[in-house]
């Protein structure tokens, strides 16, 4: 059951998928249409899942699920992963690789492999104040508070001197 993302409780589970490039406006509209259909029909053992999504910075797809009503099951999580994998194919984009890093470079979002990010940290091209995206957040409360943070406050800090 598709609801407004902003109405999901803070305890709602989230999955953050970062793209290795920005989506175009046309792609975003098409992806929103596909997400609407997927989420409207997303179920766990036949029960509706109260869920939603947001597309942030033309680059991140965030799916939220109100687990107070129904939990995602293995099958429903598999369905969402298959849906995201289909988006990867449809738009020739990488959404599943959690070992890449997105960070702010001024008003732009940069995307690097973890190896490149480590090298940039070593070379002082990024600092503890660089705003990074912690895609390992688990729920909406963490998403609001700890998703977009200085590198010093994220798992990225281990690469900074």
Question: Beta-strand (E) ranges in the chain?
Answer: 13-18, 43-44, 47-48, 51-56, 60-65, 100-105, 108-113, 131-133, 148-150
How many domains does the chain divide into? 2
Domain end marker among 70, 91, 112:
91
| pLDDT reading at 156 higher than 80 | yes
Residue among 62, 67, 73 at smallest CA distance from 11 = 67
Q: How far apart (Å, rounded) are the C-alpha atoms in residues 56 and 61?
A: 7
Query: Does pLDDT of 161 surpass 80?
Result: no
User: Both 130 and 67 in a single domain?
Assistant: no
- Where do runs of H (alpha helix) occur along 66-133? 74-91, 114-122
Looking at the structure, tell me whether residues 18 and 77 fall in a common domain: yes
Q: Within this chain, do residues 80 and 120 fall inside the same structural domain, yes or no? A: no
Is residue 47's pLDDT more than 90?
no
Are 5 and 14 a contacting pair, CB within 8 Å? no
Domain end position, chosen among 91, 116, 139:
91
Which pLDDT value is given to residue 55? 98
Q: Count of alpha carbons within 13 Å of 153, Cβ hemisphere only?
A: 13
Answer yes or no: do 68 and 106 share one domain.
no
Residues 65 and 113 in one domain: no
Q: pTM higher than 0.85 for the full model?
A: yes
d(C-alpha 109, C-alpha 93), whole Å: 16
Q: Both 87 and 15 in a single domain?
A: yes
Same domain flag for 9 and 86: yes
Instruction: Record the tokens describing residue 66, joined without a space.
Output: 């109100």
**Model confidence at 90, in pLDDT bands (50, 70, 90)?**
very high
- If asked whether residues 85 and 105 sit together in one domain, one would say no
> Percentage of the chain surpassing pLDDT 90?
81
Same domain, 35 and 107: no
Task: Report the pLDDT value the prediction gives residue 4, as an integer from 0 to 100.
Answer: 96
Element (H, E) at 143: helix 140-146
Residues 94-130 pLDDT 10s = 999 888 999 999 889 999 999 999 999 999 999 999 9
Surface-to-core class of residue 147, CB atoms within 10 Å of its CB (0-12 exposed, 13-18 middle, 19+ buried): buried
Which tens digits make up the pLDDT trace of 48-82? 889 999 999 999 999 999 998 888 888 889 999 99
My answer on whether 80 and 108 are in the same domain is no
**Residue 124 to residues 16, 69, 158, Cα–Cα distance (Å):** 27, 46, 14
Residue 112 lies in domain: 100-159
- Pick the last residue of a domain from 36, 56, 91: 91
Q: What does the pLDDT read at residue 69?
A: 84
Mean pLDDT of 148-159: 92
Tell me which of 59 and 46 has the higher pLDDT. Answer: 59
At 46, the pLDDT band (50, 70, 90 cuts) reads confident
- In this prediction, residue 95 carries a pLDDT of 97
């Amino acid at each position: 059951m598709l609801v407004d993302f902003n109405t999901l409780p803070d305890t709602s589970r989230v999955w953050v998928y970062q793209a290795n490039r920005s989506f175009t406006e046309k792609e975003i509209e098409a992806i929103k249409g596909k997400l609407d259909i997927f989420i409207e029909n997303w179920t766990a053992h036949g029960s509706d899942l109260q869920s939603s999504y947001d597309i942030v910075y033309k680059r991140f797809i965030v799916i939220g699920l109100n687990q107070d009503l129904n939990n995602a099951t293995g099958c429903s999580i598999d369905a969402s992963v298959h849906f995201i994998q289909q988006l990867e194919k449809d738009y020739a984009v990488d959404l599943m690789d959690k070992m890449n890093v997105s960070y702010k470079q001024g008003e732009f979002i940069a995307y690097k492999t973890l190896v490149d990010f480590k090298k940039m940290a070593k070379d002082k091209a990024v600092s503890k104040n660089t705003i990074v995206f912690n895609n390992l957040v688990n729920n909406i409360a963490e998403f609001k508070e700890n998703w977009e943070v200085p590198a010093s406050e994220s798992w990225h800090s281990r690469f900074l001197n």
